[in-house]
Amino acid sequence: MTKATKLLTALPPPQRRHLMELAHEVSFPEDMHVFEAGGRADRFWVIRSGSVSLTQQVTSIQRVTVASLGAGDLLGWSWLFPPYQWDFGAEAFSPVRAYEFHAQPVLRLCEEEPALGLSLMRIVAEILAHRLETTRNKLMEQYAMRRTR
């Protein structure tokens, strides 16, 4: 399995400082739906404390948790790619504190500082590879459990 990459610790310190200039702190209470699949993706978060469940609606009544995110994890990547809609849902599993970043200022910063943009894209790609593997494994587990019933 691929290793989980933490966005802020993976960025070189000068690039991290520039990105953090765009951050503001937010908090989510336990059980809050941070976003729903299909909603407008115009921001992302780096979790400082607490945990968030990424969910996928499998049927009209069944929702599956495909990943659990905690301190240092990136929450949200759909702001990078058209059609800029969330692919999963996200729910606070506990009280959460996070850094929030709005997409447009981050994208402008990436254009102004191409090295930062390239670093950010590479790190997000690593995170996506890990999440894809995690999601695939979770869905395979769910499928195996249904077959053994």
Packing angle between helix 103-112 and helix 13-20, nearest 10 degrees?
Answer: 140
Give the predicted TM-score (pTM) of the model.
0.88
CA 143 to chain centre: 24
The confidence score (pLDDT) of residue 149 equals: 66
The span from the first CA to the last CA of the chain, in angstroms, equals: 27
3-state secondary structure of 113: coil
Neighbours of 83 (CB within 10 A): 8
Tens digit of each residue's pLDDT, the chain (149 residues): 456 689 999 999 999 999 999 999 999 999 999 999 999 999 999 999 999 999 887 777 888 787 899 999 999 999 999 999 999 999 999 999 999 999 999 999 999 999 999 999 999 999 999 888 877 887 788 778 777 76
- The residue among 58, 23, 51, 68 whose CA lies nearest residue 37 is 58
Name 45's bridge partners.
75, 100
Determine contact, residues 75/52, Cβ cutoff 8 Å. Answer: yes
